[in-house]
Structure 1
């Protein structure tokens, strides 16, 4: 197990031996994996350890040491390698990212709090802290940054992010509850994207603003990708149908899943 003092050396060791896999190499490992070759899992994991380090950086100062966050991310990476299917034509880094994020977020929820609260409140706290840090860097007070937001009482100068009062947690304003629901919906949507073809993945990511891309409407997508608006809309709808089917297969509750998926689309389309 990594010790905090070993983290820098661990990063340096990985940087020295890192050799990123090509798409063809990933496919070859995927074929071996489907045939039951367990060494393929190890090779996928070892080749993508730098990905965990890169993604873990955004979760610093969230109640866990960087060493622990990296270790949790590695657990997610191993899970991703075990279920990787090259036939879906998705790069392993895209596939693994959701598992890494999920593993880290679950650990943050379970280990960084005296009282466990839902993940939605954890997302809200992360967002609030980022807003505070941005305001501070701009020389503004948190209240000025919020511009009358009813949440100005949640000033991080007087707010302990890792130990959340349940009384305060359930006093979230309706507008922020909707924002939290959108974040949860975006997370649910992301987990279903593994079933998409590359062109579907690209368009759906642009439409909903996923994978660090700005959200775009059909006209903007069409201009960016040099396709027609009807083609862009068709790809989005096709992707939604695919992900809806995957969600139904996973939950075995078609009716509930359909309603849930409509909720996802509605919230993500709101500004």
Structure 2
């Protein structure tokens, strides 16, 4: 009886030690407004497409449908400023849910339009597999549904899907290789207009310094099927290179504190885009 009592007491003590050694799980998930401010220049005869540009692309698709019939020479070169405001909840270290609105202002040669809400979006990002020191890379799926506003003739729906493979070269996952595929489809509430799918196949890598600054580069090939309105070509099809560079400031728990992204996409003329990411945290674990 005494030995049994000592064994039970020792087992309880070890269990308490194990609980104390285990990392504490946060009671509340990360909740933040993933504020993104975008400036883009877009060459004539194309739409605002590229890496993850569903809100900017939706705005230009709707603009093209509303004004396309009145533009005999096709879409002119444009500049745009957009703000994305997705509220994001990190449900776990594997799954994030987000949804919000986006606003934009454009300049197609006659001055800047008024800044207005131009789309809303919902989405999910999930790690289907985590490497965790193994040989199989982390596999991440991100899906975003974007709808332009207002809900009227020419309204567009975009569905953007990204599958990315992340192979870390060290246990702390501070450096590694990337490869992925982005596939975007769009439907338009008009019997006279259509936008064909956009595909991006890319590879790259990343490195994170001890100071928690992280650099990521992606180089790929973008293939766009073109867009038509009433038998006229609004945007030509193309297959051209695309480059994206990210510099992020992380904290010790890999939460993003600040980020800047530069993108160059040839369509076939180059389109430039700069994005500032300044997350506003309500809860940060």
TM-score by length of structure 1 reads 0.23
Going by fraction, where is helix more abundant, 1 or 2?
1
Rg larger for: 2
Higher relative contact order at CA 8 Å, sep ≥6: structure 1 or structure 2? 2
